[in-house]
Amino acid sequence: MSIALSLGNNLTTGGIFKPTAVNNTSVNNVTDFAGIAGGGTLVLLSTQTASASANISFTTGIDSTYDEYVFKFISMHPASDAVRFTVNFRDGGSSFDATKTTTFFRAKHSESGTSAFNYEAGEDLAQSTSYQFIGNPVGNGNDESTSGTLHLFSPSSTTFVKHFISVSNLYSNSSETENNFMSGYCNVTSAIDGVDFKFSSGNIDSGTIKMYGLVKS
């Protein structure tokens, strides 16, 4: 509050900061931007970069500390052509095989001008332990990749199922952009303590995945 008042007193009537508005003292007093408009509440927990990697796994740091975990996958480039980026979850064992029910739809537009918007019945799962497609086939050309976000909610709950949502975009092997939407739940009451990403075939040639925790309100 005192910082806000101090800055307010240093505004001109036209809403412009006076030269004395920001100095070493005022900046040093700022300790948290979480409650300020434009500030963030995501805490970066882990960053992993692929280099001809079979998969990228997050097996530590997923616990009751945060109610939501956010994974940002950036420029995931496959070694093989026409493969799908996928995800699976670990529910306390040693394998990524949590039982899932999911749904999937997409919007697409090709470089030639054709477009479509549809539900993808073949991309979702019904009580399956298989890896879930995050997106449709990605090309492996030098400029082709997929990027997006996956949210995992309350993974440490032992009462409720574990919901997840993903939104991504890709440069497909058919030279089109696809906006892919996937969501579902792990139908288990055990805590989810690991998340694994990989392509449906071949290695992850390059790309970065960051895991964040969303600060509890």
pTM: 0.82
Q: Are strands 56-58 and 85-90 parallel, antiparallel or unpaired?
A: unpaired
Cα–Cα dist 195/201, whole Å: 18
Cα–Cα dist 191/186, whole Å: 10
Strand, coil or helix: what is 123?
helix
How high is the mean pLDDT of the chain? 88
Query: Can you give the length of the chain in residues?
Result: 217
Cα–Cα dist 81/27, whole Å: 50
Task: For 41-214, give the CATH class.
Answer: mainly beta
- Enter the DSSP assignment of 138: B
Q: Which pLDDT score is estimated for 35?
A: 44
Mean pLDDT on 1-27: 53
Q: Which pLDDT score is estimated for 216?
A: 82
Q: Which pLDDT score is estimated for 165?
A: 98
Dihedral angle sign, alpha carbons of residues 102, 137, 46, 131:
positive
Residue with the two structure tokens 């408009």:
37
Q: Mention every residue, 6+ apart, whose C-beta is less than 8 A from residue 199.
A: 76, 78, 79, 80, 83, 84, 85, 86, 138
> What percent helix, strand, coil does the chain show, rounded to 5?
5, 45, 45
Tell me the pLDDT tens digit for each residue of 45-91: 999 999 999 999 999 999 999 999 999 999 999 999 999 999 999 99
Largest CA distance in the chain: 63
Tell me the pLDDT tens digit for each residue of 192-217: 999 999 999 999 999 999 999 998 86
Separation of CA 182 from chain center: 12
Residue 204: closest CA among 109, 134, 124: 134
In sequence order, the β-bridge partners of residue 87 are 132, 197
Tell me the pLDDT tens digit for each residue of 88-138: 999 999 999 999 999 999 999 999 999 999 999 999 999 999 999 999 999
Separation of CA 145 from chain center: 15
**Domain range summary for the chain, segments of one domain joined by +:** 1-31, 41-214
168: pLDDT confidence band, cut at 50, 70 and 90?
very high
Cα–Cα dist 170/85, whole Å: 10
Mean pLDDT on 22-38: 47
